[in-house]
Each structure stands twice: as C-alpha cells, then as structure tokens.
Structure 1
C-alpha cells in the first residue's frame, strides 16, 4: 500500500493512504494546484522538491498557514491579498 505524506491543519506532517490534491512550498508558505506552471518550472530547475509539501484540500492548507498561489489560483490569491490589505 502506498502511503503519502501530507501536511495537516496544524502544519504537522501525517501519513495518508490518499494522495494530496494540492501542493505547496514550505519556505514560501504557499499552496496551489499540482499542475501549477510556476511550481513545475521550479521543480524542473531543481532544489524546490526539498521544500515541497502536499495538502488534502484547500481548507487544510489555509489552516496550516499557507496562502494561495498567484499563478495557478489567481482569483483566490486576489481575495487573500485584498483581505490582507483590509486588515491593515
């Protein structure tokens, strides 16, 4: 049986029998689609894979303190960005 390492709501990793639906970058604290062009380019250049994380869903990524990717999730990123400006 394949086991996948995902990040939970508290930001801690856990093992799951189901793969994640979203990928993220630990140092950048962002999440996006698994087919994100920006993430795929970064992976092709190397180095990015070490900080790659995976989430079961968007709610978990947000609860873990990650923000949406501006490239593959532009509408969600715009809402996130606007909410940050409003809270200042």
Structure 2
C-alpha cells in the first residue's frame, strides 16, 4: 500500500485557498498582502520571532497568481520587482509581473 500524496494549501488568483500536490514556489502574508521568495530573510526572521506570522502565511504556485490575488512584491527579497510595482502605483498603472 502506498502512502497518500502530500498536499499543500495554496491561494488561487482570486485569493481562495485550494489543495495541491505541488508545493508553492512563492510565500505571502495575508495581513500585509506582500509576497516574496520562500527564502526571504525578512519573512524567515518574522517566522522565527512571531508564531502569529506563521498563521497568516499563504503560498502561491507562481508570481502572477500572487499579484492577481492582490499581493505586492516584497521590498527585501524582490527589490527590482518592488521598484517596478511602486513606480506603476505612483503612475496609476496596473502592474503585472
């Protein structure tokens, strides 16, 4: 008998959770609506310091899904993406990763 496949909870483009057998490649924080790399030093520090942070952590299959769900790029681990997003916001433009 084989063990059941591990499943992960990810968010879709509308921000709704769903189950997947594929691990998310991007992490986010539901409260701040920021997404970034799974190895982001700022997120890892927050996870180490606060148990509350982990409860608000969400995951995405890709960057486009995170942006479509209304999350913005992290200024620490995605500096170039953040600057592009910020410029688009200042100019009243829609940003797409």
Structures share a fold, TM > 0.5? yes
Q: Which runs of 5+ in 2 are unaligned?
A: none
- Determine the structure 2 residue equivalent to 1:29: 33
Separation (CA, whole Å) in 1 of partners of 2:44 and 2:7: 23
- Determine the structure 2 residue equivalent to 1:67: 72
Aligned with 2:24 (options 20, 23, 40)? 20
Residues 47-78 of structure 1: CA distance to partner in whole angstroms, max 9, x if unpaired? 21010000000010011000000000000000
Equivalenced residues, count = 88
How far the C-alpha of 1:10 sits from its partner, in A, is: 0.5
Which has the higher relative contact order, 1 or 2, with Cα contacts under 8 A spaced 6 or more apart?
1
TM-score (norm 2): 0.89
Q: Which protein is bigger by CA-based radius of gyration? A: 2
